[in-house]
Chains A and B, each alone.
Chain A
């Protein structure tokens, strides 16, 4: 158990819908990262927040957005969902910009 928690564990929804994935970092960690894992794209970095501020952006679609709140938890919002958005979404956290510890993931299925 890495100490990073993610909810929900599974999410099944329909195309066109919007969902929110939640992540709580390890105690003391200020950085939160979001990754997407899919069969065709592998593991891809989406976005990073440090102490509430966006610090790095990867291959994140415009339909996706994220934020980190004052209590340091983070949410990833996915809207206008498409079949291709079905994937495992991981959150990771680190103290600053060092070793990242991964949460259990949220499996999103878009039907």
Chain B
């Protein structure tokens, strides 16, 4: 069965700093997703990564996928307070998504 591991689970960052969230998964998959969730809210789709070497960027967030290493990264550049949220990676497995445990990101000013 597919296992998805995220680390770190909690990340406290200073504004303006850079950091990376890692997502490892145990079985080959066609697609990997990154979602953002604010407290008590729904999941907002950030990136869909479809192939090896895929890199996508939106604002201060950049996601990449290495299917051979079964690893995706979400890089945060020059963090701002508005990025505080929980970030999930999810791997497509059959007809379902298998989620990581989530990374709680707190950006301190």
Identify the A interface with B (CB < 8 A). 2, 31, 33, 35, 42-45, 48, 50, 55-56, 58, 90, 97-105, 107
Query: Is B99 touching A99 in the complex (CB atoms < 8 A)?
Result: no
Query: Is B43 touching A45 in the complex (CB atoms < 8 A)?
Result: no
Contact with A along B70-109 (1 / 0, CB 8 A): 0000000000000000001010001111110110000000
Interface size of B by CB at 8 A reads 19
Query: Is B48 touching A104 in the complex (CB atoms < 8 A)?
Result: no
Query: Is B96 touching A90 in the complex (CB atoms < 8 A)?
Result: no
Cross-interface CB contact of A56 among B31, B42, B95, cutoff 8 Å:
B95
| A-side contacts of B96, CB under 8 Å | 33, 45, 48, 56, 58
Query: Is A43 touching B33 in the complex (CB atoms < 8 A)?
Result: no
Query: Is A45 touching B42 in the complex (CB atoms < 8 A)?
Result: no
Q: What is the interface of chain A mostly: helix, strand, loop, or mixed?
A: strand
Identify the B interface with A (CB < 8 A). 31, 33, 35, 40-43, 45, 48, 88, 90, 94-99, 101-102
Q: What is the interface of chain B mostly: helix, strand, loop, or mixed?
A: strand
Closest Cβ of chain B: how far from A99's Cβ, in Å? 6
Query: Is B95 touching A43 in the complex (CB atoms < 8 A)?
Result: no
Closest Cβ of chain B: how far from A7's Cβ, in Å? 14
Give the distance in Å from the alpha carbon of A22 to the alpha carbon of B42 in the complex: 16
| B-side contacts of A100, CB under 8 Å | 97
Given contacts A56-B94, A90-B43, A101-B45, 9 further A-B contacts (CB under 8 A): A43-B88, A43-B99, A56-B95, A90-B42, A99-B31, A99-B33, A100-B97, A102-B35, A104-B42
Give the distance in Å from the alpha carbon of A72 to the alpha carbon of B88 in the complex: 28
Query: Is A48 touching B42 in the complex (CB atoms < 8 A)?
Result: no
Given A90-B42, A104-B42, decide whether A48 and B101 contact each other with a Cβ distance below 8 A.
no
